[in-house]
Amino acid sequence: MLSVHSCGCCRVFAARAIQFQTTPSLFFSTPNYKSRVGTARRVAASSGFAGDSGSDLRQETIADTRTNYAGVRLEETVDNGIRSGKLRLDSWISSRISGISRARVQSSIRAGLVQVNGRVVDKVSFNVKAGDEISCTISELQTLRAVPENIPLDIVYEDEHVLVINKPAHMVILYIYPSVVHPAPGNTSGTLVNGILHHCNLPNVEYSKEEALSNTEDSDDEFNSFYTNASSCEGLSSRPAVASIRPGIVHRLDKGTSGLLVVAKDEHSHMKLSEQFKLRTIKRVYVSLTAGLPTPVAGRVEVPVGRDPNNRLRMTAVAGPLNPRKSRHAASRYKVIEILARGGCALVEWKLETGRTHQIRAHAKYLGVPLLGDEVYGATRSMVLSLLRPRTPSGLHSKIVQMVSRIDRPCLHALTLGFKHPHTGQEVHFSCEPPADFDEILNQLRKISNEGAFFTKHSIS
């Protein structure tokens, strides 16, 4: 395995062979947890096409498949061996060009670049049958309206196919819905994508509404759209019913969430990583500080998550029959790592089985323990103080007030990330400690616990 650590300039890396530690809870048991670990290796890109050698695919387009796919042509007859039943045109073309997203194919169909038996077909759901002759040219991607900016990045790992970044809290990622809005100046600046574009080129990957929904990450994490003002990206704007342009971004983290994020540097890698998220094979571990102690201290929450009808800025977890129009299946496993402030708070580990918008935040609120700093989900300052004051001596109340007043984001951190490398097939794992603000709050809560125990002991004696 490789231990990869970014230096101060985030562009130079040192690597040495070590054994990866797979137990993130050990991360909190010692004061020295300043390490990042992972495994990966460089490989050459494949040709990018699936299918047998008899496919009439023009050879000069193969080189384009690593990054763009624009202009790739497919001329092929639907095989007689296809299964009986309906087979959509967009699905069939997607299966014949390896690595391309279905939304990219759909855009090509709608643009009139696909013919069936010599006739232009612009309906993506058109049913094809054995013997149909298909001719397709992949359309150009829409121009990305984001400019490179020299923003410091904490790069944990990089090769020619993927980039793993430790995202700081308060940094917006970036989503683009070019058919919906032309953003005002200033709304596209200072984002993670702006910084990545300064570091390297990113593929523009187009997603349909359906594909975007299937990939919803823990935004935790997903649909603060590009036209939402950066200062309010903690909220959730309405999802437009059009394709989105997502430059290299496979999943994302909320503006206030810190931690590990993987970025695809070519379209093939984007497709492979997105597929792993869809199949739920990505390994993700988060840690949080909660207002209150979960009961029981370990368990599994399987409660659908949907938009709160009374507050469009948040999601809600409501037990009961699943309504696919209003809520989606969501499951999280949690475990208390450490009880803090004599039960007033807790350090909690989360493992996601699904990745829904604000899943951890919604499930934490459902358990009655919203994340510290997450006022949108109920952890207001007054609520947190009402938990901590009765559990600590009056002499510590001023310290508690100062600590709570300094919390300016939900205390949630993406601690570990594991996935199958899109080109090598090798399992890779990365871990990154929480940032200074999270660590400072954790240490202060520990100190309150210790001092509270000291005051209690001496008051009894």
Residue 356 lies in a domain: yes
- Per residue in 118-134, pLDDT (tens digit) is 999 999 999 999 899 99
Neighbours of 306 (CB within 10 A): 20
Pick the catalytic residue from 254, 266, 308, 437: 254
Query: Are 117 and 176 in a shared domain?
Result: no
Query: Are 323 and 407 in a shared domain?
Result: yes
Query: Are 259 and 166 in a shared domain?
Result: yes
Residue 220 lies in a domain: no
pLDDT at 100: 81
- Percent of the chain at pLDDT above 70? 66
Q: Determine the length of the chain.
A: 461
Query: Are 172 and 199 in a shared domain?
Result: yes
**Residue ending a domain, choose from 88, 122, 138:** 138
Residue 336 lies in a domain: yes
Query: Are 108 and 188 in a shared domain?
Result: no
Query: Are 298 and 427 in a shared domain?
Result: yes
pLDDT at 148: 85
Residue 438 lies in a domain: yes
Q: Are 261 and 164 in contact (CB under 8 A)?
A: yes
Structure tokens given for 390: 């009765």
pLDDT at 173: 78
Neighbours of 81 (CB within 10 A): 6
- Per residue in 368-405, pLDDT (tens digit) is 999 999 999 999 999 999 999 998 888 889 989 999 99
CATH of the domain at 271: 3.30.2350.10
Residue 406 lies in a domain: yes
**Residue ending a domain, choose from 138, 171, 196:** 138
Question: What angle do the packed helices 436-460 and 397-406 form, to 10 degrees?
Answer: 170
Domain boundaries, position 324: 280-460
Residue 41 lies in a domain: no
pLDDT at 262: 94
Query: Are 312 and 431 in a shared domain?
Result: yes
Residue corresponding to tokens 């384009």: 64
| Bridging pattern class, strands 258-264 and 162-167 | antiparallel
Q: Are 360 and 220 in contact (CB under 8 A)?
A: yes
pLDDT at 452: 53
pLDDT at 182: 31
Domain count along the chain:
3
With a cut of 50, which residues of the chain have pLDDT below it?
Answer: 1-66, 175-187, 207-244, 453-461
Query: Are 175 and 311 in a shared domain?
Result: no
Query: Are 112 and 196 in a shared domain?
Result: no
CATH of the domain at 127: 3.10.290.10
Query: Are 83 and 180 in a shared domain?
Result: no
Query: Are 326 and 447 in a shared domain?
Result: yes
Query: Are 251 and 386 in a shared domain?
Result: no
CA pair distance 158, 151, nearest whole angstrom: 17
**Any catalytic annotation for residue 254?**
yes
